[in-house]
Amino acid sequence: MKMSDGVEQAIHSVAMLSGLSEGGVLSAAALAEFHGVSTSYLLKHLQTLSGAGILDTVPGPKGGYRLAKAAEEISLLDILLAVEGPAPAFRCAEIRQRGPNPVSDRFFAKPCNISAAMLRAERVYRAELAKTSIADLGIELNALDDGSIAARGCAFLEIHERKTAR
């Protein structure tokens, strides 16, 4: 089971936007260039994030995307669910009810134990991802500021902001 590459791209894009000065905007092309990914593919995910209320779309020649809310209020789970959809990875097809000699429906009122255990695991997975916000990532990135990705990201953003301020 492999998650879409869009998840990594979407989280990094939101993290990068959170590094801009308040209300800062980056185009899909700039976000794609910085991450070395296809603009058209990333655009699809940016639009999904915008539909989910995580990003705002800014129209016009200096337009693009900006955070729709505070970085503290966007969790990794929010982004995952926006990109991958809300359905759990395990989807019970009720195979216990197929086969020969099906018994009365009332025997299947309770969910299957197997399905219940799989969904319990999905719940702890989601709870773990809900704990980390985009702001938490930023703080951690800055804490490593002996020259981590944050340094490179900041240099890129400064150049971008100088360019768009012209």
In angstroms, rounded to a whole number, what is the distance separating the alpha carbons of residues 80 and 37? 18
By CB under 8 A, name the one of 20, 68, 129, 154 that touches a copy of itself. 129
Closer residue to ligand FES in complex, CB, 56/153: 153
> Rounded to whole angstroms, what are the CA distances from 150 to 53, 80, 145, 154, 157?
25, 22, 7, 6, 10
Q: Does 166 contact a copy of itself by CB under 8 A? A: no
Angle at 123 between CA 88 and CA 13, to 5 degrees: 70
Residue 98 sits at φ, ψ, to 5 deg, of -90, -155
Q: Does 41 contact a copy of itself by CB under 8 A? A: no
Q: Does 132 contact a copy of itself by CB under 8 A? A: yes
Q: Does 111 contact a copy of itself by CB under 8 A? A: no
Least Å distance, CB 70 to ligand FES, is 22
Q: Give which of a copy of itself, ligand FES, none residue 41 binds (C-beta under 5 to 8 Å, depending on kind).
A: none
Closer residue to ligand FES in complex, CB, 72/94: 94
Six-digit token string for 66: 């900006």
Contact 80, 134 (CB under 8 A): no
Q: Does 21 contact a copy of itself by CB under 8 A? A: no
Q: Does 101 contact a copy of itself by CB under 8 A? A: yes
